[in-house]
Amino acid sequence: AQKVTQAQTEISVVEKEDVTLDCVYETRDTTYYLFWYKQPPSGELVFLIRRNSFDEQNEISGRYSWNFQKSTSSFNFTITASQVVDSAVYFCALSEAGDYKLSFGAGTTVTVRA
Amino acid sequence: NAGVTQTPKFRVLKTGQSMTLLCAQDMNHEYMYWYRQDPGMGLRLIHYSVGEGTTAKGEVPDGYNVSRLKKQNFLLGLESAAPSQTSVYFCAIWSGYEQYFGPGTRLTVT
């Protein structure tokens, strides 16, 4: 069975601070995919990134960066120089190849204060 | 979210009533999914379909039924609604790279 744990329920920061969201996963599959989604207050789910199990390269996209470490089964997400528009719930998710069902973590609510 | 639409956007049901949620896609994708989102629990998979005429159970299928008679549409039915089914329901498709979600349906069962 797959499992995704986001230990941080809520994080509150002041604008321009960096914030790191933790994600730890469990799976027996050797081929799997990891995702991060953003859910702003408007409620829609926005895809941010996908990582394949065989690709441990870290990725940076603007102020967002992701650190994937298979040795610790973690896929952490950092927002650098946070902005008020980053306030949202962020979900980490895991799927296996084949039917691509997603197992979600419980989500981390990020509040960025001006 | 133009490619995945959900009908209705909001609905209030009384306990015991039935209803059907419609998910429609205009992108010809094979895989479709229904999730529910509850506070503090993330999204949980209810049912999914890997093609027209197929359906399969997810993590929390009890109390729901689904049908995929046409490739473009994936229907989620509640035969006898219960207060525990109060939730936000999201439909999604597999794009080939990520799951792409519809805007959601907020359902309240009183």
pLDDT at B2: 55
Collapsing DSSP to helix, strand or coil, B23 comes out as strand
Residue B13 has what DSSP assignment? E
For residues B41-78, one letter each, b for 16 or more C-beta atoms within 10 angstroms of the residue's C-beta and e for the rest, the string is ebbbbbbbbbeeeebeebbbbeebebebeeeeebbbeb
Q: Sign of dihedral through CA atoms A65, A71, A72, A75? A: positive
pLDDT at A97: 83
Measured between beta carbons, which residues in chain B are less than 8 angstroms from residue A5? none
Peptide bond into B61 cis (omega under 30): no
Q: Tens of pLDDT along chain B (110 residues)?
A: 459 999 999 999 999 999 999 999 998 999 999 999 998 889 999 999 999 999 999 999 999 999 999 999 999 999 999 999 999 999 999 999 999 999 999 999 99
Residue A53: which of A78, A76, A35 has the closest Cα?
A35
Measured between beta carbons, which residues in chain A are less than 8 angstroms from residue B40? 9, 106-107
Alpha-carbon separation of residue A42 from B8, B103, B104 (angstroms): 17, 10, 11
Q: In this complex, which of A6, A50, A99 lies closest to B97 when CB atoms are compared?
A: A50
Q: Under an 8 A CB cutoff, do A44 and B40 touch?
A: no
pLDDT at A57: 85
In this complex, how many residue pairs, one in chain A and one in chain B, have their CB atoms less than 8 Å apart? 54
Measured between beta carbons, which residues in chain B are less than 8 angstroms from residue A107? 40, 42
pLDDT at A74: 97
Interface test with B, best of A37, A45, A109 (most B CBs within 10 A): A45
Residues facing residue A18 across a β-bridge: none
Report how far residue B4's alpha carbon sits from residue B103's, in angstroms, rounded to the nearest whole number: 8
β-pairing, A10-14 vs A59-61, is: unpaired
Report how far residue A39's alpha carbon sits from residue A47's, in angstroms, rounded to the nearest whole number: 9
Do A35 and A53 touch, CB atoms closer than 8 A? no
Do A106 and A89 touch, CB atoms closer than 8 A? no
Low-confidence ranges of chain A (pLDDT < 70): none
Report how far residue A96's alpha carbon sits from residue B35's, in angstroms, rounded to the nearest whole number: 17
User: Is the minimum CB–CB distance between B89 and chain A shorter than 8 Å?
Assistant: no
